[in-house]
């Protein structure tokens, strides 16, 4: 069973960079699309962006200027960096795997079947 | 304001059926069969319940079903159980540069 685990600082100062890592266990990071999704306290979900195992990325335009995602296949990990954070970036951050279907399991569905437990990041001085 | 519109709350008694709607546009829900639904219990990560409008992942009870008509998708839960009380979110692929959009979420209360 695939498991995802987010890790990183729980407190970040305003204007600094938020850095999180997602470690994938029970399966390979290869051949899948991996996303970051966040949820402000008491609010809904927001897709931040995805990274393909090859390194290709696509970011939410609302965050694109501040987001960088990267992958480390040797460690089965992928990472998120969000720069110039403000209080509005306070949220639970989830990493998630995208569903692939079809006879070769290579058809994207833009749905997420495996999620990390989430990590709360607070932006405060 | 979320890209997809869901009712803030719905309720039902055990054994009853309820439906949660998710309204978008022809650029997302209406234009593609990439609608998914998630269940989220307090303090937990979302759980995928439906993908591609009506497909259930392995392990999801067949009490949960999905459908779509025009720009509105729906999640129907039949035979409501106490454990179904949770927040439910819809999501869709969008042809806009955002790629993936979510609804604002619906709180289901089992009376």
Query: What does the pLDDT read at residue A104?
Result: 84
Per-residue pLDDT tens over the stretch A18-65 = 999 999 999 999 989 999 999 999 999 999 999 998 889 999 999 999
Contact B36 A112 (CB under 8 A): yes
Mean pLDDT value of segment A83-104: 94
Residue B42 pLDDT grade (very low, low, confident, very high; cuts 50, 70, 90): very high
State the best of B45, B89, B93 to mutate against chain A, taking most chain A CBs within 10 Å: B45
Query: Cβ of B89 and A116 within 8 Å?
Result: no
Q: Is A63 within 8 Å of chain B by CB?
A: no
Q: Which residue of B has its CA nearest to A108?
A: B34
How many CB atoms within 10 Å of residue A28? 11
Other residues' Cβ atoms within 10 Å of the Cβ of residue B96: 12
CA distance B16 to chain A (A): 26
Residue A97 banded pLDDT, cuts 50, 70, 90:
very high
* pLDDT band at residue B9 under the 50/70/90 scheme: very high
The answer to whether B97 faces chain A, any CB pair under 8 Å, is yes
Q: How far apart are CA B97 and CA B74, in angstroms?
A: 24
User: Cα–Cα distance between B29 and B23 in angstroms, integer?
Assistant: 7
Q: Which pLDDT value is given to residue B39?
A: 98
Nearest chain A alpha carbon to B59: A113
Which pLDDT score is estimated for B1? 63
Cβ–Cβ below 8 Å for A117 and B34: no
Asked if the Cβ–Cβ distance from B45 to A115 is below 8 Å, we say: yes
Over the range A88-116, which residues count as b (16 or more CB within 10 Å of their CB) and which as e?
A: ebbbbbbbbbbbbeeeeeeeebbbbbbbb
Q: In chain A, which residues have their Cβ closer than 8 Å to the Cβ of B73?
A: none
């Amino acid at each position: 069973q695939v498991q995802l685990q987010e890790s990183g600082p729980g407190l970040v100062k305003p204007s600094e960079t938020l850095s999180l890592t997602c470690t994938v266990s029970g399966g390979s990071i290869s051949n899948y699309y991996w996303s970051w999704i966040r949820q402000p306290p008491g609010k809904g979900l927001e897709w931040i962006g995805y990274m393909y195992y090859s390194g290709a990325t696509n970011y939410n335009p609302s965050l694109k200027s501040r987001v960088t995602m990267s992958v480390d296949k040797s460690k089965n990990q992928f990472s998120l960096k969000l720069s110039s954070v403000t209080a509005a970036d306070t949220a639970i951050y989830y990493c998630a795997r995208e569903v692939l279907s079809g006879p070769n399991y290579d058809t994207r569905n833009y749905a997420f079947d495996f999620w990390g437990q989430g990590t709360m990041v607070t932006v405060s001085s | 304001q979320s890209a997809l519109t869901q009712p803030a709350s719905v309720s039902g008694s055990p054994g009853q059926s309820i439906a949660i709607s998710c309204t978008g546009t022809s650029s997302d829900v209406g234009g593609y069969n990439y609608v998914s639904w998630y269940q989220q219990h307090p303090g937990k990560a979302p759980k995928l319940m439906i993908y591609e409008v009506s497909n259930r992942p392995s392990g999801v009870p067949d009490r949960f079903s999905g459908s779509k008509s025009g720009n509105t998708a729906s999640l129907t839960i039949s035979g409501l159980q106490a454990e179904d009380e949770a927040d439910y979110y819809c999501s869709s692929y969008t042809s806009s540069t955002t790629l993936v959009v979510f609804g604002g979420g619906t709180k289901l209360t089992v009376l």
